[in-house]
Each structure stands twice: as C-alpha cells, then as structure tokens.
Structure 1
Amino acid sequence: MPELPEMETYKSLLQQMIVDHTITNVAINRQKSINVPTEHFIHHVLNQKVESVDRRAKYLIFKLQNGSCLLLHLMLGGWMFYGNADDKPDRTIQVQLSFGHYHLYFIGLRLGYLHLLSHDMLNKEFEEIGPEPLDTNFSLDAFLGTIKNRKGGLKTTLINQEYLAGIGNRYSDEVLWHAQLLPERKIIELNHGNKVCLYESIKFILQQAIQNGGYMDEPFFPGDSKTGRNKNKMYVHGREGKECKRCRSPIVKVEISSRKTFYCQVCQH
C-alpha cells in the first residue's frame, strides 16, 4: 500500500502536470471506485480547473475551481499513470480524468477510491488522523506528547494513523531498523534517548524515501526515472534472509497484528 513518501511523490509530480489545467473529460469504468452516481460525479468534475493537489497522510486531495474536492486513497494495489492515449498502460482503468490530449489514469482501485467531497466533508474525513511527521511544527516535544502514556508496541503505534499520519507497514520497519529498536518493544519501556532516536529516524527515513521517489513498481509517466527508486534501497522490509546492512546478520520476518514485519534480531534491541 502506498504510504507517505509515495503519495508525496505523486503530489509533487501532479502539481507540475495538472494544476491550473482543466478537466476536459471524465470516464468512470467502475462505479464502486467513486461515492456518488456517475452523472453526479461528472457534473461536478467536468470542465473544472484543478486549483491544487495536496496530501494528507496517505491521501491525495484534488481541489477544484468550483470548491469540490476529490479525495484519493489508493489502498493496496492502486497506482496512477499520466500520459497520452498512446502511452496508456495495458491495465484495467477504473477512473480516467482527461486534460486535453493527456490523461490521468487511476489503476487498481479495487479497494481504493476517488471520492467527490465538499470541504466540510473532507475535513470530517481527517478528524481522527494524527499529525504529519514531516510538518515543520512536528517538533520533538510534539512527538513526545503524541506517544506519552502509550503502552502499545512500537510497530503497532507507528502504523496507527490516529497517532502519526502516513506511516504504514513498510516504513515502520525501516524506521525501527534505523532507530535500532525491536518492533514488538513497548513504548513505555523506552528511555528518553530511545525516543529521540525514534523521532530522528522517522524524519530521516521518510525524507530519504521521498528523495528517492518512494517504492512504486510502475512509472508515473513515460520516461519517469524517479518514481520507485527507493524500492532497491530498503534496509529490512522485504529482505527476509538477506544480510543486515549494518551487522550482516540475516533479516527475519514475523507477523505482528497480522502484518508481515521485517527486522534484524541482532542489532535491533
């Protein structure tokens, strides 16, 4: 499932490609991928200029000229592609937004969705989502306040969107490896130094992943050489049996709360 770095990468690219451009055609090939009748969706989206593309947690928000918003959550298996008709991927397209001769294809939205919302409805969607870990206001003190009195394990807390926005299964493993902390260790057991290290690792791992374009398998546009470069730079996630890049011990895989979790049992403590 795309996490904060992947959605931030999409946001940056979309800002360059579709902001201030008008949606000239809308195609809905899967009704379940949207939240309103097709005719209603098209009526509110067609011929509207995209004023901005923002990100919140693992979501993207397309703000339209008429005040409507499109809320995108790709979920598991979802991705996007931007190009002309000749570049169209040989995949099933659930939703397509056209901008003249160029099209934004939404692919793999079997669990994901593109919902049409008002600003009030959008704000309600985010009421229970925690702070953005890369926000300039998310200081160490703010982080310490977020995890204060938490008694759960590190892995399950990091992926809980009510406490931190945008971190999922993949980057929680990477953060904990970088901080040299075991995923099942309890937050209440951490000393101040551990917490500082965890905070710094969250910042470092997410920023590095964004710089490398996240881990998405598919390019976003023809000739895209940035998207997905972080996939080959993972420290532990998906590397079961391979050498730890810090101590050369084999990476192990376990399940924590039904999630595949990768870590080094030697240099994470």
Structure 2
Amino acid sequence: MPELPEMENYRIQLSKHILDLPITNVAINREKSVNIEANAFKSALMGGQVIFIERRGKHLLFHLDNGRRLLLHLMLGGLLYLGSPEDRPNRTTQIEITFGSELVLYFIGLRLGYLHLHTAKETEQLMSDLGPELLDRRMNEEKFKAIFRKRRGSLKTALVNQEIVAGIGNCYADEIAYAAELKPSAKLQNFNEEDLSRLYAAAREVLLNATEAGGYIELPMTQDDQLTGGFNERCQVYDREGEKCFRCGDNIVKTEIAGKKVFYSPGCQHDR
C-alpha cells in the first residue's frame, strides 16, 4: 500500500504537470471507485482545474477551482500513471482524467481504493481523525515524545495507527524500527527517554530518505520518471525475509503482529 513517501512523490510530480490545466475528459470504468453517480461525477469535473494538490497521511487532496476536493486513497494495490494514451501502461484503469489536449492521469488498481468528490467542509471532517505528520514543520522531538510516551502496546501497532501519526504503514514502520534498533514488537510502555529520542530520529531519517528516493513503488509515474521506486533497493528489512542483515549479518525474520506482517533483524533489534 502506498505510504507517506509514495504519496508525497506523487504529489510533487503531479504538481509539476497538471495544475491549472482544464479537465477535458473524465472516464469512469468502475463506478464503485467514486462516491456519486458516474455522470454527475464527470459533470462536476469537466472544464474545471486542479489548482493545488495536498497530501495528508496516505491521502491526496486535489483542490478544484470551484472549491471542492477530490479525495484519493489508493489503498492496497493502487497506482497512478500520468501520460498520453500512447504510452499508458498495460494495466486496467478504474478512472481516467484528461488534462488539456492529451495528458491523462490514470488511476490503476482501485479495487479497494477510491477517488471521492467532497466539499471542503466534508473533506476536513473526513480527515479530522488523522494524527499529526512526523515531517510537518510543527512537529519536533518533544511533541513526538509526548505522543508516544502515553501509548502502550507494540511499536509496530502504534506506528501504523493513523490516529496516532499519519502516513506510516507496514514498510516504513519496519524500516523505522530497524533504524532505531528496536524490535517492532517492543512495548512502548517500557521505553525510556533515550529510546524515544532514537525512535524520533529514526522516523525522520527513514521518511525523509524514502521521500527523496521516490518511495518503494516500482511503476514509474511518467514515461521519463527516473525517481519513483528508488527506495525499493534501499529497504533494510522490509520484504527481505531470509536475507542477511546489512548491519549484523543475521537472517531477516518475517512474523506477524496483530495480523500485520513484520520484518526485522533479531541480531541487532532489541526490546529497548
């Protein structure tokens, strides 16, 4: 599932290409991917423009020139591709939005994901339960500690809880735990101030590096995209079961916590 770095990469790239271009066509190939009747959805977008793209957690918010918002959540398997009809990937698309003469934004794999049209007020209400962003300029170490100091349970469960902090999923929770030299199963109630400081530094480092590297999704977003997926080869533990840890040489282990898959290195990740 695309997480904060993947969605931030999408936001940055789309902002360079589609802002202020007229929407000239909308094709809906799966009506369940939108929240209103397909023709009404199309009519609401036709002739309009996207004037700003915002990311909140794992969501993208397309601000339209009429004040409404398109709320995107890709969920498991969702992808975006931007290009002409000639260079589109050979994938099933659920929604296609054309900007200008032939620049098409393809929404791929929206079997669980969605693109919903809302008012600004509705959007704010839907986003109100999201926790703070760890890369937000208003976030600092003391605020981070205050959030996690009062939590109980496993580190992994807390990191992927969108009401605690927004944007982290399975991949980056495991990478953050590895960078902090903590087991994903480590109990937050046992952490001291040094553990929390190390966790904050690890979270910032992993999320910043992953964002700069274009996240881990391998499908390029455009035909000439050389950035997207750059972090895929930099993952230290995620999806590396049985491979050697780069730090200690132990074998990476895959297990589960609360039904979520977990990857970690038993040789150099500890309970605290």
Same fold per superposition (TM over 0.5): yes
Which amino acid letter does the alignment assign opposite residue 233 of structure 2?
Answer: N
Which amino acid letter does the alignment assign opposite residue 137 of structure 1?
Answer: R
Q: What whole-Å deviation, never above 9, does each CA across 1:63-108 have from its counterpart, x for those lacking one? A: 0001111000000000011111101111111000001211000000
Which amino acid letter does the alignment assign opposite residue 98 of structure 2?
Answer: S
TM-score in terms of structure 2 length: 0.98
Gaps of 5+ in 2: none
Match of 2:131 in 1: 130
Match of 2:58 in 1: 58
Which amino acid letter does the alignment assign opposite residue 192 of structure 2?
Answer: N
Matched, 1:256 2:272: no
Deviation at 1:245, TM superposition (A): 0.9
Residues in 1 aligned to 2:69 and 2:150: alpha-carbon distance in whole angstroms: 36
Q: Describe the SS at the equivalent of 1:260.
A: strand
Q: Output the aligned Cα RMSD.
A: 0.7
Task: Point out 4+ residue stretches in structure 1 off by more than 4 angstroms.
Answer: none
**8 Å Cα contact 1:154-1:185 kept in structure 2:** yes
Q: Describe the SS at the equivalent of 2:239.
A: coil
Residues in 2 aligned to 1:101 and 1:250: alpha-carbon distance in whole angstroms: 49
Equivalent residue runs for 1:94-243 within 5 Å:
94-99=94-99, 100-243=101-244
| Corresponding residue pairs, total | 269
- The sequence identity of aligned pairs, in percent, is 44
Moved more, 35-44 or 155-164: 35-44
Residues in 2 aligned to 1:209 and 1:266: alpha-carbon distance in whole angstroms: 24
Equivalent residue runs for 1:23-62 within 5 Å:
23-62=23-62
Residues in 2 aligned to 1:174 and 1:252: alpha-carbon distance in whole angstroms: 13
TM-score in terms of structure 1 length: 0.99
**8 Å Cα contact 1:55-1:61 kept in structure 2:** yes
Q: What whole-Å deviation, never above 9, does each CA across 1:27-70 have from its counterpart, x for those lacking one? A: 01100000000121112111101100110000000000011110
Residues in 2 aligned to 1:183 and 1:90: alpha-carbon distance in whole angstroms: 37
Q: What whole-Å deviation, never above 9, does each CA across 1:203-251 have from its counterpart, x for those lacking one? A: 0000000111001121100021110010011000000111111111111
Matched, 1:78 2:46: no
Residues in 2 aligned to 1:261 and 1:227: alpha-carbon distance in whole angstroms: 24
Deviation at 1:152, TM superposition (A): 1.2
Deviation at 1:149, TM superposition (A): 1.8
Residues in 2 aligned to 1:63 and 1:46: alpha-carbon distance in whole angstroms: 14
**8 Å Cα contact 1:44-1:68 kept in structure 2:** no
Match of 1:67 in 2: 67
Match of 1:13 in 2: 13
Which amino acid letter does the alignment assign opposite residue 51 of structure 2?
Answer: E
Match of 2:22 in 1: 22
Residues in 1 aligned to 2:161 and 2:176: alpha-carbon distance in whole angstroms: 14
Deviation at 1:148, TM superposition (A): 2.6
